[in-house]
Amino acid sequence: MKKNPFLWIKKVFFLIVCSMKNHLFLWITCLFFILNIFNTYFLTVSGLNRYIIPFNHTFSSEVCSILGNFAILSILYIIGILIFRKQRRISIYLICVSFILNVAVIALQYYTKSYKIAFSIFNFSLMKSPTGGFGGSVFADWVYELFMYYRILTLLPFIVLLVMTIVFRKSFGDFRIQITFQKVFCSLSLLIGCCLGTYAYYQYSLSKNWGYSSDYAQYGCQYAGTYNYYISEFIFHVDNRPIDKEADVNEESKNLDAYNKNKSSYVNAIDKKTYSNQDKQTGILKGKNIFVIQMESTMSFCYDAEYNGIEVTPYFNELFKDPNCFYFNNVYTTVGIGNTSDAEFAFFTGMYPTGDMTIAWDFDQYDFQMTALGDHLKNEYLSYSYNPTNESFYNHNNLHEQLYKMTDFRGLETFITEFPKKENSEKYLNDFHWIRDSYILRWAANTAQEANKKGKKAFSFVETITPHNPFEDMSDDYDGYVKYDFGINSTYYQLTNYMNQVRYNDQMLYEFLMEATNPNSPYYLEDTVFLLYGDHGNALYKNSYDSLFKRTLSDLEYRKLLLNIPVILYDPSGSIAESLEGSDINHILSQTKSNTDMYRTLINMLGIETESPYFGVNMFSGEPTYSYDPKNFDIITDEFMYSKKNDIWVGNYNEKLVEHILDFRKKQDSYLNTLVYTAEEKH
């Protein structure tokens, strides 16, 4: 007689079930610890969460993390025993604790999707921004991801304990668990000591091996244990940011002088050549109107390319053939957790955000000032900035006028007063929460015309709202909207929707440029130069890009892709083209640049004379530079890409250049932290 090959499996299963019946509370206790400790790896291992960029895992980090998490779970377990005493009640308590912990881990996963960095309570000011009408859509997207990307597995501890308690509910003992004061005191003392010890090791390792403003929370999750780290932050308000509130901002500013490029002569750290703050482009745009468009979530991979035989940006691809249009295809965003707001900060100040600082909301709390583009424009220009949603979004109504020194900021509330919703419904989007991009651009154009009539030059800064997370199908919102198939797996429909929104905007933005440069158009902007750039990436799932490109991207390729934004400069007057000579004439420029370089470029071309330092390069000068990601510290140059967090690179790695960049970042972060957090608090 042939034996059943699965008989041993049945026997093992039978033994486990019997063991559960006879030792149910022991099983629940063990699984409470094992499963909830395992759950923390959804926040520390990229294989379980593709949106995070963890530090390298080491033996010491794993041991400390497990000990820290075990200690916190043990303290919670002892509290349950002291309060509830009986096995059934304690088990229900552990189910509830598991549910709270599991939901918290899920929420932290969603945070990493949006911001590509671990959450810290010192980033909580992000919640001040109104949802702008897309909260419901984002929630629906979260529900989708809960199942599609298996985030539901994070609820496994809760589900397993709940099922065991229900199925074997009659197996609980009815006696009260006795625990002496001496045992409680000794146990809690040992566990608290374990928490403090692992946390102290984390702080020591952080200062020794990292020491930058951003990502201390990710380091904490890996070295102190996720539960241990966040309880320390929430309950004890432990602040691990490298902020010295006794520092002198003037001294910190002097420390940056070695990197200041506003000098008649300086040596570039990459090619060792000498450059100057005066070059062939100095002053060539002096006296011209400037119209800037910051394009929401717009990325370079869409431009000058086609997928599945379809061009994503056919109109701009044609415009790139115009000798007066220049496309920088190798520019990288430098946003931190502020996303759109940080892109503004880099543009208006030419500085990198620290990564963890929400400059918009820090400005709401602290009374600090710094030199911004508006300071240089105020004598000759009327400057206006526009955002298509609530004026309080990212503190825009205060930030743009008071810190960036714009003449006036205008958003949804101002638009409504000029164009009431009922009579102008075609001008609004998303149930009247957003101004349509085409209308906010024309609104800005009319205001620029009025400035010219007053004898002033106009500087306009306009932000678009689409494409916007969670990248829905906009077919019902736009007339003439066509959905194209870019050959992406239907599971990753958001990337398809995103690319279709970019394609729609391609035509909309092109048509606006044609109107603004047509003397017969009511939106004609005379003697105006147009600058368009993307603010940040779309943070969509890596597998969606693998599907688009028909290959598996490496982690560094994926991260580089998300940072790569288009910068387009359109000068109908031909002044820029005339300033270029011979081999310099190239209308698609592929030298590595940062979005902080636009500040230096505009100051240079407008012929602005200032004593204030700047650290970027003129984007047309040919001077080499670099870019780094303030959140995760990926460094990008023409020759290589380097991950400081993981100490890996591709290309021709240059250790001395990396040391130069590391030093610049530390000094710049220190300057900004000192400027902000030593300023007087606003009341």
3-state secondary structure 422-491: HHHHHHEECCCCEECHHHHHHHHHHHHHHHHHCCCEEEEEEECCCCCCCCCCCCCCCCCCCCCCCCCCHH
Give the tokens for residue 327: 């496309």
Q: Do 257 and 135 fall within a single domain? A: no
Establish if 466 belongs to a structural domain: no
List all residues 6 or more positions away from 75 whose beta carbon is below 8 Å from its beta carbon. 188, 191, 192, 195
List all residues 6 or more positions away from 619 whose beta carbon is below 8 Å from its beta carbon. 328, 567, 569, 589, 593, 597, 598, 601
Domain end call among 236, 258, 288: 236
Look at 33-47, 245-259, 574-588 and tell me which has the smallest mean pLDDT.
Answer: 574-588
627 vs 332, 334, 665, CA distance in Å?
Answer: 6, 7, 11
68-80 burial: b if 16+ Cβ within 10 Å, else e: bbbbbbbbbbbeb
| 298 contacts 467 by C-beta, under 8 angstroms | yes
The pLDDT score that the predictor gives to residue 21 is 60
Residue with tokens 């007689």: 1
Q: Do 261 and 172 fall within a single domain? A: no
Q: Do 156 and 28 fall within a single domain? A: yes
Residue with tokens 């100057």: 276
Q: Do 258 and 191 fall within a single domain? A: no
Percent of the residues in the chain that have a pLDDT greater than 90, as a whole number: 75
pLDDT tens-digit map of 369-415: 999 999 999 889 999 999 999 999 999 999 999 999 999 999 999 99
Give the tokens for residue 328: 């920088």
Q: Do 255 and 116 fall within a single domain? A: no
Task: Please say if the pLDDT value at position 311 is more than 50.
Answer: yes
List all residues 6 or more positions away from 419 whose beta carbon is below 8 Å from its beta carbon. 427, 439
Other C-beta atoms lying within 10 Å of the C-beta of residue 553: 16
Establish if 540 belongs to a structural domain: no
23-49 burial: b if 16+ Cβ within 10 Å, else e: ebbebbbebbbebbbebbbbbbeeebb
Task: Please say if the pLDDT value at position 16 is more than 80.
Answer: no
Q: Is 581 or 648 the better-scoring residue by pLDDT? A: 648
Q: Do 252 and 197 fall within a single domain? A: no
List all residues 6 or more positions away from 493 whose beta carbon is below 8 Å from its beta carbon. none
Give the tokens for residue 540: 């969509």
Domains contained in the chain, number: 2
Determine the Cα–Cα distance for residues 266 and 263; give it in Å rounded to an integer.
6
Among candidate residues 228, 388, 317, 306, the one with its CA nearest the CA of residue 588: 317
Within 13 Å, how many C-alpha atoms sit on residue 242's CB side? 22
Determine the Cα–Cα distance for residues 605 and 376; give it in Å rounded to an integer.
13
Q: Do 645 and 674 fall within a single domain? A: yes
Give the tokens for residue 612: 């204030």
Mean per-residue pLDDT of the chain = 91
> In sequence order, what are the beta bridge partners of 326?
569
> In sequence order, what are the beta bridge partners of 533?
294, 567
DSSP type of residue 649: E
pLDDT tens-digit map of 142-168: 666 776 667 788 999 999 999 999 988
List all residues 6 or more positions away from 561 whose beta carbon is below 8 Å from its beta carbon. 299, 301, 537, 545, 553
Establish if 203 belongs to a structural domain: yes
Task: Please say if the pLDDT value at position 548 is more than 70.
Answer: yes
Task: Please say if the pLDDT value at position 266 is more than 50.
Answer: yes
Integer Rg of the chain from CA: 28
Q: Do 116 and 62 fall within a single domain? A: yes
Determine the Cα–Cα distance for residues 657 and 663; give it in Å rounded to an integer.
10
| 130 contacts 434 by C-beta, under 8 angstroms | no
User: How would you classify residue 552: left for phi > 0, otherwise alpha for psi between -120 and 50, otherwise beta?
Assistant: beta
Q: Do 125 and 81 fall within a single domain? A: yes
Within the chain, how many helices (H) and strands (E) appear?
23, 19
Confidence of residue 1 (pLDDT cuts 50, 70, 90): very low
Segment 303-320 mean pLDDT: 96
The pLDDT score that the predictor gives to residue 521 is 97
Among candidate residues 16, 22, 28, the one with its CA nearest the CA of residue 163: 28
Segment 673-682 mean pLDDT: 92
Establish if 87 belongs to a structural domain: yes
Tell me how far apart the terminal alpha carbons of the chain are, to the nearest angstrom: 87
Task: Please say if the pLDDT value at position 320 is more than 90.
Answer: yes
- Helix or strand or coil: residue 32? helix
pLDDT tens-digit map of 108-125: 988 888 888 999 988 877
pLDDT tens-digit map of 21-31: 667 888 899 99
- Helix or strand or coil: residue 530? strand
Establish if 546 belongs to a structural domain: no
Establish if 295 belongs to a structural domain: no
Determine the Cα–Cα distance for residues 71 and 8; give it in Å rounded to an integer.
37
The pLDDT score that the predictor gives to residue 385 is 97
| 328 contacts 593 by C-beta, under 8 angstroms | yes
Length, in residues, of the chain: 683
Q: What angle do CA 674, 679, 680 make, to 5 degrees?
A: 160
Give the tokens for residue 490: 């239907």
Segment 606-622 mean pLDDT: 95
Q: Do 142 and 183 fall within a single domain? A: yes
pLDDT tens-digit map of 457-512: 999 999 999 998 888 888 888 888 889 999 999 989 999 999 999 999 999 999 99
Q: Do 124 and 217 fall within a single domain? A: yes
Element (H, E) at 589: strand 588-589
Determine the Cα–Cα distance for residues 74 and 80; give it in Å rounded to an integer.
10
Determine the Cα–Cα distance for residues 384 and 375; give it in Å rounded to an integer.
13
Task: Please say if the pLDDT value at position 136 is more than 70.
Answer: no
Domain end call among 236, 262, 280: 236
List all residues 6 or more positions away from 344 whose beta carbon is below 8 Å from its beta carbon. 294, 394, 399, 400, 404, 463, 535
Q: Do 173 and 254 fall within a single domain? A: no
pLDDT tens-digit map of 570-609: 999 999 999 987 655 678 999 999 999 999 999 999 999 9
> Could you list the residue range(s) of the whole structural domain that residue 102 is in?
17-236
Establish if 370 belongs to a structural domain: no
Look at 44-53, 278-287, 390-399, 616-625 and tell me which has the smallest mean pLDDT.
Answer: 44-53
Establish if 641 belongs to a structural domain: yes
